[in-house]
Amino acid sequence: MKIVVLTYGTDGDTRPLIALSHALIQAGHEVSLLGEARSLGLAQRLAVPAVPLAGDIRTLFTRWSQSGARGTAKALVGLTNANAAAWMAQTFEAAQGCDAIVVSGLAGFVGLSVAERLAVPALGAGMIPLTPSSEFPSPFLPSAWVPNRLNRASLVLTNQLLWLGLRKALNRARADVLGLPPRAKLWTEHPMLYGISPTLLPQPEDWPDNAAMCGQWVPSLSTDFVPPAELTQFLAAGPAPIYVGFGSMTGIDLPRMLEAVIKALNGRRAVVWPGWSDIGSMPLPNNVLRIDAMPHDWLFPKMAAVIHHGGSGTSHSAARAGKPSIVIPFAGDQSFWSDRLYRLAVAAPAVSPGRLDTLVLRDAISFVEQPAVIERAEAVGRAMAGEDGLAVGVRMIERLLVSGAGLNPCPIKD
């Protein structure tokens, strides 16, 4: 089958879709991927045909992240609205003659519209659970705000709010690019596949048959990865270090944060990846090594613990490596994953960026060094190692497309 995979987001949003695309190619399908330009490096490495979409999410994050979660959310909506027509035109061109479109991320509604125009099946994919359930609240709301009885309603609410924020620009692009009438309602009937581990978030009993937790979508890159000599020497020189990295977070005072972390380490060894932030020429003590980006599936098993921002991908990779976490959530779904790791007893209570002092961090480090926490993290890692999210994802896509079960290739136009 010829399948178009459409996504837009940060590296953490795009890499799982690249992994899924590669798995589909290995299964014999013809796949074209469209995604954020700076996040397509892995696609080139895996020889996945990829087309960069308009927009620059990294510059946007840098400009808006100091405004907090609300500012970032507003900026992401603005970015999506500004590029809806361009993404739609690019997707429509790439999808000619395809058998299906897999849609994800900020470009999801664009992909659903193109699938409607071409009368081909559309399947949703993601790393954040969006399908309403009574078993957990919306990942975009603090869990303390949502009573259990309102879990399903909270997911419906945040999905609807996103739709309302994007509907006007989307409908304008539908008319201008695809010649489609405006759509009044959010799509709800298409299948949804999630690159989420059922160990971290079990499949809800009240989900429909066409929604599934497949397991993490991560390519195995460690077999051919050659680490820098400096890192190899550092790892061999002492006990396993603690990883410190906050991924795509920008606009944060990373040097100040690292000062607190280094004091809390109290001489423990650590490796630091600055990610999208910058530490400039900040000097680091001999027990701390600055590193570049590298495969989590190679690096994390060599760590003692992982200090991170709580993104879905990093949370999954730390847990899969069998390592406990210290999560400092900033925005979006990060508090949700922090809570999942804490509920599994493999993470300390979440540390607020606003309370990032040495004493709080020392308590968190002491927590993850407890033998019971280490043993629990190892057990979670073994359970996740038995999952094959990519194989499950490919099987689900093939089954849904062959059977047509739950597909709505040409929705009723509202």
**Which domains does the chain possess?**
2-216+388-403 (3.40.50.2000), 222-385 (3.40.50.2000)
Contact 259, 222 (CB under 8 A): no
**DSSP label at 140?**
T
pLDDT tens string 150-196 = 999 999 999 999 999 999 999 999 999 999 999 999 999 999 999 99
Tell me the pLDDT of the chain averaged across its residues: 90
Half-sphere exposure of 108 (CA within 13 A, CB side): 26
Query: CA-to-CA distance for 29 and 21, rounded, in angstroms?
Result: 9
- Position with higher pLDDT, 71 vs 259: 259
Strands 242-245 and 288-290: unpaired
pTM of the shown model = 0.91
pLDDT classification of 223: cutoffs 50, 70, 90: low
Query: CA-to-CA distance for 392 and 127, rounded, in angstroms?
Result: 15
Q: What's the pLDDT score for residue 412? A: 30
Query: What is the 3-state composition of the chain as percent helix, strand, coil, each rounded to the nearest 5?
Result: 50, 10, 40
**What is the CB neighbour count within 10 angstroms for residue 403?**
9
pLDDT tens string 10-62 = 888 899 999 999 999 999 999 999 999 989 989 998 999 999 999 887 766 55
Contact 390, 20 (CB under 8 A): yes
The long-range contacts involving 53-58, CB below 8 angstroms and separated by at least 24 positions, are: 53/8, 53/83, 53/86, 53/87, 53/90, 53/107, 54/83, 54/86, 54/87, 54/90, 55/8, 55/79, 55/82, 55/83, 55/86, 55/87, 57/8, 57/9, 57/10, 58/10, 58/248, 58/250, 58/276
Position 413 pLDDT exceeds 60: no
Strands 100-103 and 50-53: unpaired
Query: CA-to-CA distance for 57 and 75, rounded, in angstroms?
Result: 9
Let me know if 388 is exposed, middle or buried by CB neighbors in 10 A (0-12, 13-18, 19+).
Answer: middle
Average pLDDT over residues 227-251: 88
Lowest mean per-residue pLDDT among 241-250, 315-324, 347-356: 241-250
325: helix, coil or strand? strand
Q: What's the pLDDT score for residue 280? A: 66
Position 221 pLDDT exceeds 70: no
Average pLDDT over residues 308-326: 95
Position 406 pLDDT exceeds 60: no
Tokens at 255, concatenated: 């040097």
Position 399 pLDDT exceeds 70: yes
Half-sphere exposure of 246 (CA within 13 A, CB side): 22
Short-list 183, 217, 168, 225, CA closest to 197: 217
Angle, vertex CA 34, rays to CA 32 and CA 40, nearest 5: 100
pLDDT tens string 59-116 = 665 555 555 555 667 878 888 999 999 999 999 999 999 999 999 999 999 999 999 9
pLDDT classification of 409: cutoffs 50, 70, 90: very low
Q: What's the pLDDT score for residue 276? A: 64
pLDDT tens string 328-386 = 998 889 999 999 999 999 999 999 888 788 899 999 999 999 999 999 999 999 999 99
